[in-house]
Structure 1
Amino acid sequence: MAEDPRPGSDEWWLKTLATRLHDRRIGKGWSWQRQNLDNDVRPGLEHLWSWMVGNPPLPECANGWHEAMRPMIRMCTVNIAPRICASVSDRMDPLGWRTAVDSDENGDQIAAEIALENRFGIQLGLLWDYTLSMGSGYTLVGPPRSGSKIPVVTVEDPRWTITHENARTGETEYGLKMYRNDWDTADVALLAVKGGVRIFQRENRRSILNRSTLRMDPSEWAEAENKVNPGEYDGCVLTPFSTPSGRGEYEIHLNVIRKLNDSTLNSVSIAKHQAFRQRGIKGLPDKDADGNKIEYPADAFLSDPGALWRLPESVEIWESTPVDMNGIRAQHKDIYEEIAVLTGMPLFYVTPDAAEGSAEGASTQRESNTFRTRKYLRAADAGLALTQSKAFAVMGESERAKVSEIRTIWHPVEIHSLTEKSQAFAMQRQNGVPFNIAARDCLGYGPEDLPRIEAERARDAFYAAATATTDTRVEAGRPVRAIESA
């Protein structure tokens, strides 16, 4: 690669995006201690992801206490961040996609094949985790596997992937994915440009990707092979996903989560100390019968389940009063409620007792979470449509690739009982709603289920007609035609 890349060239974008990616990952300029940060200075994505996987940075301990205290602090870390994200991601379940070619309720069959072969059921769950925890996520559309016509679609980690969008149109123009190839002892950079991907490598036993500072020396990077063209698509194969605010779900509430961890540590510490309450002995003589001062050994009154004490009759044992823990428990519960209010997460996601509340309160919590989830569904719609459009374009399906015609069919956000579903379905049918729409919206059937249901309905109708008998009777002097089941 050239020593001094020309601004605007692919090599220049490689260096620029790598620097942006590194700064975003480590959170350049962000710190817990700084109170006057600008709004656009965010925590590093590594920091945000550490809360998601239950390994957040621990508070500092006084000198000499690290070995003793840090395991206990780690034990008292409440891993609530995944629950905040799960309250939304659990309800983000796509059933299928409509396209310009196939826009009925059953969805497009080729779109379903793309989702099935690329294991969208698993991959999209990871995409939602990335997006909700760190504020962004990505999909990468690549050429098909050998012997298949379906493009390979992968979900990419925002800690190692970044894109650049046109300021006016919002179109993704460049993208970068970096990773370490331990087998070849090389850092690899995939630069997504219009019409394909350029692959660069830096062969060195020491990776530069995990360093606190990134120094992109162009002389160390060389293009590994010619540009990989995934097919007939001529745009950038990376697609960004983002939350409406561009931030993670719990990003602005980290201080409250830290307060919860601190409250947990305090309650556990006090409970542990309760097992070793202060004890005192009243009336123990200081001198023996000869007037000599008695030196009691240090282990004379050992606090041990097997210890045996021999005391004079006049001696009385005093023990300190235990601390009342009810106030601490109440404060702990209040912090949970504070987190639920601030994030919009239903309280029953973290406290089982909330499920025993009033029906009106539970309904309000569900409604709040429903509105919150729908907001994220609208944000995800655009990314999924673009991803499917790029996959169709790679396959040469130009008509299906019209992104303005692609619609995601989502599983209903609200969860209802079987009785409620049946009643809603019957009411919809009475009001003239088509069977397939009512079956999807009320009973929760997916596009892949509707053809099977239609076949079963046709078979039932055929058997009902075949087993019916017709006879004619005369009653009161007039013929009466009756249809009776055999």
Structure 2
Amino acid sequence: MLAEAGIPGTDDWWLMRLANELGNGLPRMGRLTRYRDGDALLPDNAWDVGTRESYMRWLKRSRLHIVETIRDARTDRQRVIGFRTGADGDESGDLAAWKHWTRNRMKVQSRQFFNDTADYGKSYLLTMPAADGPLWNVRNGWTTITEPNALRPWLTEAGITVGFDPIAQAEVIVLHRPGYFRVAFRPTRVPTLMQDGTPWYPGKGWSWAGGPVRNVSNDSLLQRNQTVDGFGVYEKHLDSVDRINEITLNTITLIVMQAFRQRGVKGNLPEFYPEGHPQAGEKVDYDELFKAGPAALWLLPVGSEVWESNFTDITPIFTYRRDELKVLMSNTRTPQDIFDGESANQSAAGSQNSKEPLIHAVQAMNDQAEVSLAQAMAQSFEMVGDAIRADVTEIEVLFGKISPATLAEKAEAVAKMGGKPSQRYINSEVLEMTPAQQRQDEQDRTTEMFQTALAAASASGVTGSGDTNAA
């Protein structure tokens, strides 16, 4: 049992404090996940199953899924292309660092890493020793939480990861502290930490599986990446998203209802059938008499006229929705042409100016991500005993261009250089080659120079041989 849970600063205290914070944050995670998945308009109140399913079908036909586009506009431009370390001769990227990245399939995992940061405001990267090399594990706020160091917020003071072991039938919490980690468990046949947004109360019954396990690194192995303010990129604008979705839903409802416009008959219509009629004296059933249908024929008394409700003009509603979308795009620094396509006739300078706020936003996210990625890379080199590359102050994360130039623009820029900069600079800054492409280009140039020299030597030998024979 955790006997020191009431003593601040102890492992017991950190474990329970972080577990409670994680549990209290799950409703927020659930809310953001619903917006990410496009289910945000579904009411939280309990409806009967039939009504709820019917509403969901109508909602899916009517919704405008906005937040995923807002997120992808940023994260699609976050692309790690290499690392530089303190090792000699890695101007075009360190191959040893890139091997750590590729071995952990970070081209794939980084998508989740960046997307989770944009959706939830935070994501986590856990570095663990493994037989085939350091292992990187991407996590999010559903199972992971950290507390930053008060003086060095880029370092983790304490953090936990929560899981369930179905074989041992126990919930497991791993506490990560600077220099070590500890494992706590609680027997249970089913996990109590749900993934539906309901709060989690860790409760009692936790015990340590053993003492602290020392890390190779003096820092915690669990790193946090976050946006500048810790909010998701669209989290502060969810009211605007709700308003746009409700406008869309109501507009489509109006369109559908145009086919069911109210009709009526004006005139002196009798309440009962007159004498001489086969149903004389009976009350007239006008619902039966005036059935609606493509081939329906109505017999109206003299002087009667058919009235129909007016058509509702939805153009002002669509205009209002478009204006709301523009405001949302402006507030989230997302280019408006992603939605409305109005930049077809826009100049190159105008297009660049419209994307400038997004470029600054992505650059800020890259700066934030570099801290956690560099820390994880440094710890990976510590685990393999490479002290030179393990210096985190010498590690630089190389990101791809946020707004890549076209091939024509690159060719024009190279022509204007006039051969003054080095080829390495042209490859990196003008042609925007990745480190791997730069190394391949250098190898190709060396091969071409060798083949040219070999051809020249062969030609010289043939010419010399011909001159000798002529003599």
TM-score normalised to structure 2 length: 0.86
Confirm or deny: 8 A CA contact 1:136 1:240 kept in the other structure: yes
Structure 1 counterpart of 2:146, from 163, 179, 188: 163
Q: Kindly state the Cα deviation for residue 96 of structure 1 after the two structures are TM-superposed.
A: 0.4
Residue identity over aligned pairs, in percent, reads 26
The alpha carbon displacement at 1:58 in A equals: 2.8
- SS for the counterpart of 1:408 is strand
Cross-structure match for 1:18: 19
- Cα distance, 1:74 vs. partner? 4.9
* Structure 1 Cα separation of the partners of residues 55 and 39 of structure 2: 16
1:105 is aligned to 2:88: no
Native 8 Å contact 1:105 1:437 kept in 2: no
Q: Gapped runs of 5+ residues in structure 2?
A: 461-471
Q: Larger % of helix: which?
A: 2
In the superposition, relative to structure 1, how do residues 274 and 106 fare at CA in structure 2: closer, same or farther (>3 Å)?
Answer: same
1:325 paired residue number: 314
In the TM superposition, what is the alpha-carbon distance from 1:226 to its structure 2 partner?
A: 5.7
Q: Is the 8 A contact 1:97 1:112 kept in 2?
A: yes
Looking at structure 2, the residues matched to 188 and 450 of structure 1 have their Cα atoms a distance apart, in angstroms, of 46
Answer with 192-201 or 336-345: which moved more: 192-201
Q: Pick from 355, 379, 382: which aligns with 2:368?
A: 379
Deviations 1:426-461 (A, max 9, x none): 334x25222122212222321112222112112223
Q: Which residue of 2 aligns with 1:260?
A: 244
Partner Cα separation in structure 2 for residue 22 and residue 60 of structure 1: 20
Structure 1 Cα separation of the partners of residues 419 and 24 of structure 2: 57
Matched, 1:125 2:126: no
Residues 268-295 of structure 1: CA deviation (Å, up to 9, x unaligned):
1111111111122345842545274651
Separation of aligned partners in 2, 1:274 and 1:182: 56
Where does residue 295 of structure 1 map in the other structure? 284
Structure 1 residues 412 and 313: CA distance shift in structure 2, 3 A: same
The alignment status of 1:407 with 2:396, answered yes or no, reads yes
- The answer to whether 1:152 aligns with 2:135 is yes
| Alpha-carbon separation, structure 2, partners of 1:399 and 1:357 | 50
Distance 1:435 1:331 in 2: 53
Q: 2 CA distance for matches of 1:204 and 1:300? A: 68
Rounded to whole Å, the distance in 2 between the matches of 1:4 and 1:228 is 19
What is the DSSP-based 3-state SS (H/G/I as helix, E as strand, rest coil) of the residue aligned with 1:345?
Answer: coil
Q: Look up the equivalent residue of 1:55 and give its one-letter code.
A: D
Asked if the contact 1:166–1:172 (Cα under 8 Å) also holds between the matched residues in 2, the reply is yes
Equivalence map 1:327-406=2 (5 Å):
327-406=316-395
In the other structure, the counterpart of 2:10 is 9
1:383-418 Cα offsets, whole Å, 9 max, x none, are 111111111111111110111100011111112221
Q: CA deviation at 1:262?
A: 1.0
Measured in 2, the distance between the counterparts of 1:50 and 1:327 equals 29
Number of matched pairs: 447
Could you report, residue by residue, the CA deviation over 1:26-75 in whole angstroms, capped at 9, with x for unpaired residues? Answer: 3xxxxxxxxxxxxxxxxx23222321222326346898995454543454
More strand by share: 1
* Partner residue in 2 for 1:478: none
1:309 aligns with 2:310: no
**Are 1:87 and 2:73 counterparts?**
yes
Q: Is the 8 A contact 2:244 2:324 kept in 1?
A: yes
Q: How does 1:212-223 map to 2 (within 5 A)?
A: 212-218=198-204, 220-223=205-208
Distance change in 2, residues 1:179/1:198 (3 Å): same
The DSSP-based 3-state class of the residue aligned with 2:382 is helix
Closer/same/farther in 2, CA of residues 105 and 162 from structure 1, 3 Å limit: same
- Partner in structure 2 of residue 455 of structure 1: 443
For residues 226-250 of structure 1, what are the alpha-carbon distances to aligned partners after superposition, in whole Å with 9 as ceiling and x for unaligned?
65555x2232100111111121111
1:198 aligns with 2:182: yes
Q: Name 1:29's counterpart in structure 2.
A: none
Q: Which residue of 2 aligns with 1:269?
A: 253
Moved more, 360-369 or 204-213: 204-213
Q: Separation in 2 of the partners of 1:100 and 1:415?
A: 28
Amino acid of the residue matched to residue 346 of structure 1?
A: P
AA at the equivalent of 2:176 = A
Asked if structure 2 preserves the Cα contact closer than 8 Å seen for 1:61 and 1:69, the reply is no
Partners of 1:105 and 1:436 within 8 A in 2? no
Aligned partners of 1:240 and 1:62: how far apart in 2?
A: 36
Q: What is the letter of the counterpart of residue 51 of structure 1? A: Y
Alignment of 1:52 with 2:16, yes or no, is no
Match of 1:187 in 2: 171
Match of 2:387, SS state, is coil
Any idea what SS the aligned residue of 1:367 has?
helix
* Distance in 1 between residues matched to 2:370 and 2:40, nearest whole Å: 31
Following the alignment from structure 2 to structure 1, what is the Cα–Cα distance between the partners of residues 211 and 288?
78
Alignment RMSD, CA only?
2.8
Of the structure 1 ranges 275-284 and 445-454, higher mean CA displacement relative to structure 2 is found in 275-284
In 2: Cα distance, 1:61 partner to 1:19 partner: 26
State the distance in 2 between where 1:239 and 1:386 align: 8
* Structure 1 SS opposite 2:436: coil
Q: Could you tell me the TM-score, scaled by structure 1's length?
A: 0.84
CA distance in 1, matches of 2:367, 2:420: 28
Query: Displacement of 1:465 after TM fit?
Result: 3.9
- Structure 1 portions without partners, runs of 5+: 27-43, 471-486
